[in-house]
Amino acid sequence: MSGRKDTHDHHGRTEPTLGRIDDLDAPAQAPVDDGLPHIVVDEPRRRAAMPPPRSRGPQPRKRGWLIPVLVLVLIGAATALYLQQDRLRTMVPRTELNDLLAQANQALQAGKLDGTNGDSARELFEKARDQQPDSDPAREGLRRVGQAEVARADAALTAGRLDEAEAALNVARELLGGGADVEQLGQRLSKARNPQSQTEAWIGQAQDALAAGRLDGDDGAGPLFRRALDADKGNAVAARGLDKVGDGLAAQARQAIAANDKAKANALVDRIAILVPNDGDLPSLRAALAESRKQDDQAVAALVQQGNEAMRAGRFTGDGDDTALARFRAALAADPDNADAKAGLGQVAQALIVQANAAIDSEDDDHAARLLDEAAKLAPKSAELAAARARIAGGADAGARLASSTPSPVARASDGGDDDAEASLAVSPAQKARVADLVRRAQQAASRGDIMDPPGDSAYDLYRNALSIDGNDPTARAGLQALPAQVEKLMTQAVASGNVGRAENLYATLSDLAPGDASQGDMRHRLGSAWIDNALQRASQGDRQGAFQSLDHARRYVPDDPRLQSTYERIATGR
């Protein structure tokens, strides 16, 4: 370097300079005096003085090419990820999408198909589809919503709720894009909106049926004319057609009354009341039926009275027609639904069972068995009958077990003759435990109301099974005999709650378990009255057909109830 004095430096400082660049390539020459100390570096000598490096084997080559290669690989990987991002996105679990689909399926199962609050099945499936347009579960879910809307529209149309049917059909059409079911429902809805063409079709079919003599039935003239008149209240053709149907059915009813076919006559009169409630022949037909019934009732009542007199005289069964059994059977032949005659047969069966128990007490099991066989023909499910049979079976089994035990002469001499005690002692501890378990299960079944059903697990069957092991078990016998009272209690509850179907089934069970029980007369009247109440309720809901069916049930139990006739007239006239 060379230095120069800065003329502006008042302190006499020397500034460093680079010198001339041209001098770098100039040949060596005598050093110029620049005022600095000279340093001479002897490079070859310095290197020679340094010791050689210790040998460490082959030295690795320099890999300067690796960095460019790595950069290229990273660039390629990033490009591939970018190009395949849609595919990779589908491989990553979509928690939010899965939650939406789950909520949508729950809404579909709950019947919440459409709405505006964001929680309906349609809205949730559509939201899932918006998140992932190619989602197959979302598309399938919307299709299922559409099918559910088709079913809802069909049900609403059948029930006459036309606005609801149209709304559901519109949603179904949006989701399904049409289809045979949608178009068929649309046509049905259009006919319902404009029933004129359908009414004309019904009238045409009814006229053909009337000409063919088909007055009643699904394709009969009466129901078809009735349907047309209900759809068009002022249709004169349908009204005249119904009058002709009423005349034809009334003629058939008179023929049935003359032939003493009361069942057919009653059915025809009831159909007239349904199809042509204002028919002029109805009052006279009902009067003729009432007179015929009165005469028959007098004859049946006389037979029942004779049967009761034979019961008091002790002539339960036997040859001849003056026994209680013969009189009650004759009464049922005249009136198959006569409750008094049925109760009389139950009383005969009960009397036979009492005689059988007396024979068992006298150790005459053979005679007892014959009496029980005769009672079983009249009341096969009687609780008393089952208990008596168990006594015979239990005594026979106990005798066999006692005989096999070969007691000593002293023990036989000291026997007090208590057969029940002997039978109880003859039952093993394991059998007693089995009996106790069966009795416990029977009590639970009775508390649930499972009196006669299900088979094998009903209270009736469980008590009988217990008595088949130990016919003298007092708890099992008492439980079996108490079943009628339990049934009566359940029936009272069913009548009070308006469950007439269950009450009717329980009454049949009570008749089986305790035939001839005097308390059944009151229960029968309460059941018939409940059926009349049910008929009035169904009529108030617009179900005239169901109301008449309820009155048919009521007639079985209270044929002479004044409410029965008045309720028929009220429902038939629409009052």
Maximum Cα interatomic distance, the chain, rounded to a whole number of Å = 173
Minimum mean pLDDT among 220-224, 450-454, 520-524: which range? 520-524
Q: What is the pLDDT of residues 253-291, one digit of tens each?
A: 999 888 888 778 888 887 887 788 778 888 888 888 877
Backbone angles phi, psi at 363, to 5 degrees: 60, 30
Residue appearing with tokens 């009035």: 536
Is the alpha carbon torsion for 48, 54, 57, 62 positive or negative? negative
Check if 94-193 and 482-575 are the same fold.
yes
Joined together, the tokens standing for residue 210 give: 């009337």
CB–CB of 451/482 below 8 Å?
no
**Confidence (pLDDT) at 308:** 86
State how far the Cα of 503 lies from the Cα of 88, in Å rounded to an integer.
Answer: 66
**Cα–Cα nearest to 425, from 449, 405, 446:** 405
Asked whether residue 128 carries a pLDDT value surpassing 50, the answer given is: yes
| Region 217-228 average pLDDT | 85
Asked whether residue 244 carries a pLDDT value surpassing 70, the answer given is: yes
State how far the Cα of 276 lies from the Cα of 269, in Å rounded to an integer.
Answer: 10
Domain spans in the chain, listed from the N-terminal domain onward: 94-193, 196-280, 381-407+421-481, 482-575
| Region 113-129 average pLDDT | 85
* CB crowding 295-311: b at 16 or more within 10 Å, else e: eebeebeebbebbbebb
Q: Tell me: domain 94-193, CATH 1.25.40, correct?
A: yes
Q: What is the pLDDT of residues 150-190, one digit of tens each?
A: 999 888 888 878 888 888 888 888 788 777 888 888 877 77
Which of the pair, 145 or 1, is modelled with greater confidence? 145
Residues 6+ apart with CB under 8 A from 215: 209, 221, 222, 245, 248, 249, 252
Which range, 66-70, 223-227, 542-546, has the best average confidence (pLDDT)? 223-227
What number does CATH give the domain 196-280? 1.25.40
Q: What is the pLDDT of residues 482-500, one digit of tens each?
A: 888 888 899 999 988 889 8
Minimum mean pLDDT among 38-47, 159-168, 196-205: which range? 38-47
Q: What is the pLDDT of residues 6-33, one digit of tens each?
A: 444 444 444 555 455 455 454 444 555 5
> What percent of the chain is modeled with pLDDT above 70?
76
Confidence band, pLDDT 50/70/90 cuts, at residue 83? low
**Confidence (pLDDT) at 397:** 53
| Region 520-540 average pLDDT | 87
CB–CB of 316/348 below 8 Å?
yes
Where on the phi/psi map is residue 160: left (φ > 0), alpha (ψ -120 to 50), or beta?
left
Minimum mean pLDDT among 8-17, 192-201, 514-523: which range? 8-17
Where on the phi/psi map is residue 105: left (φ > 0), alpha (ψ -120 to 50), or beta?
alpha
Return the H-helix or E-strand segment holding 3: strand 2-5
Asked whether residue 514 carries a pLDDT value surpassing 60, the answer given is: yes
What number does CATH give the domain 482-575? 1.25.40
- C-alpha dihedral, 140 to 144 to 150 to 152, nearest 10°: -160
CB–CB of 405/422 below 8 Å?
no
Minimum mean pLDDT among 517-521, 547-551, 561-565: which range? 517-521
Confidence band, pLDDT 50/70/90 cuts, at residue 5? very low
Q: Where are the alpha helices (DSSP H) in 84-195?
A: 85-91, 95-109, 121-131, 136-158, 162-176, 180-193
